[in-house]
Amino acid sequence: DEVALDEWAVPIVSRWDDGTVVTAPNVEFDAAPKRVYEHSLGTGVNRETFDAIRSLVDFNGQWDPKEAQTAFELTSFGNDDSSIIFASPIPPIPADYDPLYYPQFVTILSVSKDDALQQVVNDLGDTIDMQVHNLVVFSSAVGIIGIIVIFVVIFVAASYLTEPLRWMNSVGSEIVHNFGSEKDADIDFEYKSRCVYGPKTELDALTKQFDTLIKRFSRLGSAKRADAAQIEILNKFALSEEFSDLYNSRGDDNFPFKYNREGVKELEEDMFGRKLRLNRGRNIRGSETTNTSASTPHSTKDFQTSIWRSPLFSSIAAFIILPVIVFSLIISVTVLWKISTFSDLLEPVKEDFISLHNNYLYSSTALRASLVSSTTGVVARDLHVMTRYATWLFFGALETISVVDMVGTGTEECKNKPVGETCLWLKNQPCDCDWGWHFDEVCAKYEERDSRPLQKLYMASQKDDAWPDGTRNFTTSPFATSPEETNWWQQISDLPDSSADFVAESNYGTSSKRARTASAMAGVLISFYNILLGTSPPGSTEVPHLALMFEADGMVIGFSGCTPFSAEIPFWVSSEANGAAELQPDLCPLGKHAYDPRCRKWYDDGKKKAINGESVLHITSPYVFASSSLNSTVAQTGTSAMINKRTKEYIGQILLD
């Protein structure tokens, strides 16, 4: 119920093999297990659909991770029109091919078309209809306003451009019908434009020519022309002979009027015997007669250009054509912009998808958390049992029967192995293929005998800086800076064992006694290891690691099956990344080789909890494994402190990875 996707999507988790429902919203589980394809669940999943989901990818054979992921991401199922079904295997398909991978569960998400997708489609359709309606209204409004504005602009432009023509037509009509009559005085012979700042076109030149022409028909204009004209005409005066002396006297320097300094020059006689005389100049000098004849030519070169440069054409284009283009562009750009915003309509769909995806991730996370929770419960239970048994042995509640033959060590031998290779000691260790995960895929089949009696614990204990009783609480310089420089005890009989009275009475006072007592835990540790492997899913990569770790000397005694943990111990190095030098600078200075559990944070946290009385149990969050050959393995560690109930003495912890 906590991972239900709104009210329209039903997530169900079932087992991959048989479809047994593990969890589902609003499902009450009774004694009989339910199958995911039961009609009563109302998921739309039937047996054929479930078989189709399982047959989408054959995980029993060779399969491609990318193709498998794509198949489940893109494939939907459904046997009717009421729902769409999505499926996803659990654990999630790994990014890299793993031949041991096999789904244990499947998340089936049934989405109702009527309740979910139909509503999404309806909402999307309504949004699109609203957008289209708004676009139509806007385009219509802009179009109507544009037509009105264009009409007004055309009307004003037409009125302005045709005003001179209408004036010329009106004046011409008045002249034709009223010139010479009493109404002649009412004719307006002068053109006055109502627009002072209008553009100049060819019509202005035509108006000017017409204005000059019609002024000839005006009485006032004719009088002005007569007064202003100073024209010399032919002199037909017949008394030239009688006035010749006067005429010739004009050349006299003392002549009072000085019209012309040259006199009349006589020429030959004409056919009638009269002497012809040449007029040396006009009798009127300095006349500034202005010729304002209607026929006077005006320059029109400014208008004798192509139509594209015509002012009249430019005015028509500016007042009539340009508004049409502008409003068309406004409508077009607006429509294109509105259409481009249709992509925003996908946002509701994206939000629904993201919500669905996030809820799926939440479901997956919740399932993983449930898995971790169940695993943690198993770890806590097993650690409790092992801790109770160990404390009984170490603190005298049970008689200790050492089984030193059940403990072996190959740390000293494996420290010299070449990088990337497996040491000979590890290769010679029994590793049954039925035990589970195998290092470098090296295992053997024990078909004729039981391999479990061959299982032994491993021991790792450092020699350097050990006291006579085996205690190690500091590291001297120079220390080991390579695996080859580390030194390890090779067998329990070599471990320090002082003869102090207290040591003789306890089962944990020296390294030797701690190792001998811990050897009695072989049956418990190995048994729990096999139980944990037996409860792991087939093909699982979950590999347990159990060990006892001691506070006095940092000795480790445990069991890890076929994994190379014991052989990797010399290769562990204190670094800034693992924080060992900061945690225990005296034991694990920066750069020192050799694994010491006391320099690990999980050990230190568990120790502090136990000593402070908070809890003997400590479980870490997942982290990357410390082993050099398993540095990509994610591990989770649980520890339980071994404390003497009477003396409150802390001697170490039991670990379960």
Q: What is the dihedral of CA 212, 218, 219, 224, to 10 degrees?
A: -20
pLDDT at 531 (0 to 100): 82
pLDDT at 241 (0 to 100): 73
Whether pLDDT at 550 is above 90: yes
The domain boundary residue, chosen from 288, 309, 329: 288
Range of lowest pLDDT (462-471, 601-610, 634-643) = 634-643
| Within-domain flag for 594 | yes
Which tens digits make up the pLDDT trace of 557-601? 999 887 778 888 999 999 998 899 999 999 999 999 999 999 999
Closest among 436, 406, 445, 412 to 426, alpha carbons compared = 412
Same domain, 498 and 643: yes
Q: What is the dihedral of CA 266, 268, 269, 275, to 10 degrees?
A: 0
- CB-facing half-sphere around the CA of 138: CA atoms within 13 A: 16
Q: Percentage of residues in the chain with pLDDT exceeding 70?
A: 64
| Within-domain flag for 84 | no
| Within-domain flag for 51 | no
CATH of residue 532's domain is 3.30.450.20
| Within-domain flag for 382 | no
Pair 419, 571: CB distance under 8 Å: no
Number of domains in the chain: 3
Runs of H (alpha helix) within 341-482: 346-394, 411-414, 424-427
pTM of structure: 0.49
Higher pLDDT, 243 or 256: 243
Phi, psi of 559, rounded to the nearest 5 degrees = -145, 135
Compute CA distances 405 → 410, 454, 455, 456, 585, whole Å.
Answer: 14, 11, 11, 8, 35
Same domain, 276 and 415: no
- Rounded CA separation 438/424 (Å): 16
Q: What is the dihedral of CA 535, 539, 541, 547, to 10 degrees?
A: 40
Distance of CA 405 to the CA centre of its chain: 61
| Within-domain flag for 603 | yes
- CB-facing half-sphere around the CA of 20: CA atoms within 13 A: 10
pLDDT at 88 (0 to 100): 80
| Within-domain flag for 38 | no
pLDDT at 367 (0 to 100): 67
Same domain, 225 and 241: no
Which tens digits make up the pLDDT trace of 489-512? 988 989 998 644 444 458 899 999
Same domain, 212 and 262: no
- Rounded CA separation 601/609 (Å): 12
Which tens digits make up the pLDDT trace of 20-75? 887 666 665 554 567 878 877 766 788 888 888 888 889 988 899 999 888 887 77
- Please state, rounded to an integer, the average pLDDT across all residues of the chain: 75
Category of 509 on φ-ψ map: left (φ > 0), alpha (ψ -120 to 50) or beta: alpha
**Average pLDDT of the segment spanning 366-380:** 70
| Within-domain flag for 164 | yes
Same domain, 227 and 238: no
**Average pLDDT of the segment spanning 240-250:** 73
Same domain, 522 and 637: yes
| Within-domain flag for 525 | yes
pLDDT at 453 (0 to 100): 83
Range of the domain at 399: 395-656
Same domain, 503 and 652: yes
**Average pLDDT of the segment spanning 457-486:** 93
